Chain A
Amino acid sequence: MTTLTSSRGRRRAPTRIERAAGRAAALQRPRVILALLLLLALTCAMLLDGYLRAEVGGDQRVRSGADSSEVPDTILDGGPILTFRGGQATTVSVPAKTIALTFDDGPNPTWTPQVLEILRKYDVPGTFFLVGSMVTRYPGIVRTMVEQGNEVGVHTFTHVDLSYQSASRVDREMEQTQLALAGAAGITTTLFRAPYSSETDAIDNYSWPVYERLGKDGYTSVFVDTDSDDWKRPGVSDIVKWATPKGTQGASVLFHDAGGERSQTIAALPEYIEKMKAKGYTFTTISGVMAHRRTAGAGTTAGPSLQAAHHRATGPTLYEGKALIAAVAVAEWTVPTLSVGLAIVGAAVLARFGMMLLLARRHHRQRNRRRFGWGPAVTGPVSVIVPAYNEKECIANTLRSLARSTHPIEIIVVDDGSTDGTSRIARDAAGSLGMTNVRVIRQENAGKPAALNNGVRNASYGIVVMMDGDTVFEPDTVRELVQPFADPSVGAVAGNAKVGNRTTVIGAWQHIEYVMGFNLDRRMYDLLRCMPTIPGAIGAFRRDAVLAAGGMSEDTLAEDTDITIAMHRAGWRVVYQEHARAWTEAPGSLRQLWSQRYRWSYGTMQALWKHRGCLTDRGPSGRFGRVGMPLVVIFQVVTPLFAPLIDVFTVYSMIFVDFRAALLAWLAVLGVQLLCAAYAFRLDREKYRYLLMMPLQQLAYRQIMYLVLIHSCVTALTGGRLRWQKLKRTGEVGTPAGAG
């Protein structure tokens, strides 16, 4: 927001612009930073959520059938507990008649509590090898698990085959899990079991270095003697059979308390415990096995030695762990909430498109039926009010177009304190065109609403047409525009504004937007009788109705929306007349477009807020409050506020989830919009080639539009003052030859 092109801004008061620019800069920089921080946090939450669900950084590869030539035979044939005390690999086996129950892949909110309950009931300890990501998601289960006297070990953070991962990834997997444990239960552990590992004789040349390295770090790797294979869901009897060691051998037994449907595990576990107890077996944890090793069965394996692998987490580890758990809780809550919100918004937008297509079609058919008429033709003269502030480039064109009007009119040019001789140019133009029906009224610069009010007061006829000083009418425009007044219930009519300068990219984008806005939105609003805005470029009003509403108000920056809502509330019908076309000059630069839209969206919100009372009113005002207000609020304020999230989610899914699916979804939405746009173009008999700009519009224009809206929302909240910023005109728009 540095230099507005004020060197050429001859029609603007420089001091005001400078002040506005300064204010804008002061307001915007913190906003941009805050927006970026919010985006950062959202991205973090989404990445975290994706990481926890293995969408981000997930690795499905599992190695099998690799050679084990480099693994020492003692290990391959050794017991299931592998340590590296003093740098040397040693294995420990489970003593006879002893079972170390081990559970992998937990915690799981459904099955783990059931397993814990069974263990508690039989007073049997277990060793749980936990997946860190699940720990962060269900910390309460882990806390209970540890408090109940069970031992826990690390089963990596994301359940990846570590033999495929780099050393730093392995370290991260371990540390993240430790952090999760610290946060969940206030402990760290020295036990580890590698995902996809089983018996020691399955160690291969790729996984061996991982165990070696982790062992040197102090980890004890735990393997299995008997594998229940419960994940295959073979039935309770097979699970029990496969989990049972031969004779009186001791065993580290593998069950799974997560990773799938585990009802068979839950059913088999009590049976297994009872069976083994009946055979005289005792149950212990991995630490219990180690302690037994050391004490040589001195019988002191009770108490804390069952959890000897646990260490109390202290200091930064504990706090960081707790922070991680909290961060995960936030992400776990945020991402699904946003997803649901986006689904609702998406459904609403699609429903709106459907409704627009339906109602636009009905509107088009109804109004173009051969026998359709508003009543007896309106032929009496009307007043055309042209507010003009520094319109020297355009005013002559405007008057020339009005001179060809096929409807009797008087023209009131209200010069709002122009400094560029607009009045003189207007008078000269009227004189040279031989127009006798032009009156030029000068007033002190007081803003567009005041100029319009001045014009309305000076109007001689009961119907006033309002247009902008930079707008060009077709010869038939006024006649078409005033026909609906044959119906006495019609209080105001919106015309069809067309973008004249559509050769540039920005112009083409706005052209698409205008065609859609007029041919879909306004037709829909017309039939629903809740049109929120009569465009300032072309609209007609009953003079009495405007005066009864107190004229144009300066309360808001969108006096057109304000007066339209006021008309509705007064019980007047507001209709859209598609055949009354006005050619207007759209902003030619992004900056101009930005300030125009900023004013529009801010003004619309002001007008909605100003008329919030209609929500509780009765009668026509209440009707607008119940139908029009929600529609406008949802589709012009709430939906655009969600739009950046849609973009963030789309980009996220393209990068991290499924590029093809995300792209297809995006293309599908684009397709729906293209379809709607094409229909709107068809209704208006516009050339389809502008639709080629539409994909690009989705990538730039849309973002500008929602940024403007967010920006004006924040301005509304902060209570900052927003002033009129006049658009720079080039006066290039004229009635296209042969049009109308």
Chain B
Amino acid sequence: MGPVFVDTTGRRSKALRRLGLFLGAVCLAYAGVLAAAFMGWGTSLNPSSLLPFGASAEGGRAPGGMRPEGGIGRRAELPDTVRPTASPPASTTRSASASAGAN
């Protein structure tokens, strides 16, 4: 019986070296993915791609639909209205008053 553990062929150490290389690469990739995900690298989430309600919805929009509607005298700003935000709205009762009270 020769010395315990000793690998004379070198096959084992070669296989292990490959395994180590693979493991190292996996670890590095793992750290890389997390770093990229955390810092937001490489993603194309720039604001312009996030326009609310994409072109499809816009295309289907009928011009006649651009009037305020719905409920109880609530003023609804249109998405692309010309009215500035600062203009005072028609004073309304808050529909959420019930729940506001509950708060």
Distance in angstroms from B23 CB to nearest chain A CB is 6
Distance in angstroms from A554 CB to nearest chain B CB is 7
Which chain A positions have C-beta within 8 A of B88? 73-74
Pairs A–B under 8 Å by Cβ, sample size 21: A77-B91, A79-B76, A89-B85, A91-B76, A93-B75, A174-B45, A176-B40, A178-B43, A179-B43, A188-B49, A242-B99, A245-B95, A250-B95, A287-B57, A294-B62, A298-B62, A317-B45, A320-B37, A556-B4, A610-B4, A718-B16
A85 & B80 in contact (Cβ 8 Å cutoff): yes
Within 8 A of A (CB), among B29-52: 30-31, 33-40, 42-45, 47-52
Contact flag A320-B36 (CB < 8 Å), given A190-B52, A217-B47: yes
A41 & B26 in contact (Cβ 8 Å cutoff): yes
Which chain A positions have C-beta within 8 A of B66? 294, 296
Interface string of A208-235 (1 = CB under 8 A from B): 0000000011111000111111000000
A678 CA to B60 CA, complexed, in Å: 83
Q: Is A118 an interface residue (CB 8 A)?
A: no
Which chain B positions have C-beta within 8 A of A219? 50, 52
The 6 closest A-B pairs by CB, nearest first: A719-B7, A90-B77, A95-B70, A218-B50, A296-B65, A41-B27
A232 CA to B43 CA, complexed, in Å: 38
Out of A73, A86, A300, A320, name the residue touching B43 (CB < 8 Å). A320
Contact flag A246-B97 (CB < 8 Å), given A78-B89, A296-B65: yes
**For chain B, which range describes its interface: under 10, 10 to 19, 20 to 34, or 35 or more residues?**
35 or more
Contact flag A86-B5 (CB < 8 Å), given A320-B42, A330-B30: no
Q: Is A721 an interface residue (CB 8 A)?
A: yes
B103 & A176 in contact (Cβ 8 Å cutoff): no
A324 CA to B38 CA, complexed, in Å: 9
Contact flag A718-B57 (CB < 8 Å), given A88-B84, A320-B37: no
Closest to A609 in B: B4
How many residue pairs link A and B with beta carbons under 8 A? The number is: 286
Which chain B positions have C-beta within 8 A of A218? 47-52
A88 & B102 in contact (Cβ 8 Å cutoff): no
Within 8 A of A (CB), among B44-101: 44-45, 47-54, 56-57, 60-62, 64-67, 69-72, 74-81, 84-89, 91-92, 94-100
A88 & B31 in contact (Cβ 8 Å cutoff): no
B5 & A609 in contact (Cβ 8 Å cutoff): yes
A316 & B44 in contact (Cβ 8 Å cutoff): yes
Main secondary structure of the interface of B (DSSP, over half): loop
Which chain A positions have C-beta within 8 A of B12? 717-719
Distance in angstroms from A14 CB to nearest chain B CB is 23
B62 & A94 in contact (Cβ 8 Å cutoff): no
Closest to A608 in B: B4
Distance in angstroms from B93 CB to nearest chain A CB is 9
Task: List 10 additional A-B contacts (Cβ < 8 Å) besides A44-B30, A188-B49.
Answer: A44-B31, A78-B76, A93-B74, A95-B70, A199-B96, A251-B95, A293-B70, A305-B60, A320-B43, A555-B2
Q: Is A198 an interface residue (CB 8 A)?
A: yes
Distance in angstroms from B29 CB to nearest chain A CB is 9
Q: Is A175 an interface residue (CB 8 A)?
A: yes
B70 & A94 in contact (Cβ 8 Å cutoff): yes
A73 CA to B87 CA, complexed, in Å: 9
Which chain A positions have C-beta within 8 A of B33? 320, 323-324, 326-327
Contact flag A287-B53 (CB < 8 Å), given A317-B45, A320-B37: yes
A174 CA to B38 CA, complexed, in Å: 11
B5 & A719 in contact (Cβ 8 Å cutoff): yes
B56 & A308 in contact (Cβ 8 Å cutoff): yes
Out of B35, B53, B60, name the residue touching A190 (CB < 8 Å). B53
B96 & A308 in contact (Cβ 8 Å cutoff): no
Q: Is A727 an interface residue (CB 8 A)?
A: no
Which chain B positions have C-beta within 8 A of A324? 33-34, 37
Which chain A positions have C-beta within 8 A of B2? 555
A246 CA to B56 CA, complexed, in Å: 34
A176 CA to B54 CA, complexed, in Å: 21
Closest to B13 in A: A718
A37 CA to B31 CA, complexed, in Å: 9
Q: Is A390 an interface residue (CB 8 A)?
A: no
Contact flag A293-B71 (CB < 8 Å), given A218-B50, A311-B50, A324-B33: no
Q: Is A92 an interface residue (CB 8 A)?
A: yes
Out of A30, A178, A198, name the residue touching B17 (CB < 8 Å). A30
Closest to B33 in A: A323
Q: Is A703 an interface residue (CB 8 A)?
A: no
Q: Is A172 an interface residue (CB 8 A)?
A: yes
Within 8 A of B (CB), among A235-274: 242-251
Distance in angstroms from A182 CB to nearest chain B CB is 8
Distance in angstroms from A154 CB to nearest chain B CB is 10
A74 & B5 in contact (Cβ 8 Å cutoff): no
Q: Is A482 an interface residue (CB 8 A)?
A: no
Which chain A positions have C-beta within 8 A of B35? 44
A92 & B61 in contact (Cβ 8 Å cutoff): no
Which chain B positions have C-beta within 8 A of A714? 16
B53 & A308 in contact (Cβ 8 Å cutoff): yes
Out of B8, B27, B37, B56, name the residue touching A304 (CB < 8 Å). B56
Q: Is A476 an interface residue (CB 8 A)?
A: no
Which chain B positions have C-beta within 8 A of A91? 76-77
Distance in angstroms from A200 CB to nearest chain B CB is 8
A527 CA to B13 CA, complexed, in Å: 40
Within 8 A of B (CB), among A36-89: 37-38, 40-41, 44-45, 47-48, 51, 72-75, 77-80, 83, 85-86, 88-89
Out of A48, A77, A287, name the residue touching B89 (CB < 8 Å). A77
Contact flag A41-B30 (CB < 8 Å), given A74-B88, A79-B76: yes
B50 & A188 in contact (Cβ 8 Å cutoff): yes
A326 CA to B37 CA, complexed, in Å: 12
A93 & B76 in contact (Cβ 8 Å cutoff): yes
Within 8 A of B (CB), among A376-393: none
Distance in angstroms from A110 CB to nearest chain B CB is 26
Distance in angstroms from B37 CB to nearest chain A CB is 4
Which chain B positions have C-beta within 8 A of A174? 45
A79 CA to B8 CA, complexed, in Å: 78
Distance in angstroms from B10 CB to nearest chain A CB is 8
Closest to A216 in B: B47
B52 & A245 in contact (Cβ 8 Å cutoff): no
Q: Is A96 an interface residue (CB 8 A)?
A: yes
Distance in angstroms from A35 CB to nearest chain B CB is 10
Q: Is A34 an interface residue (CB 8 A)?
A: yes
Q: Is A533 an interface residue (CB 8 A)?
A: no
Which chain A positions have C-beta within 8 A of B95? 93, 225-226, 245-246, 249-251
Q: Is A291 an interface residue (CB 8 A)?
A: yes
Closest to A191 in B: B52
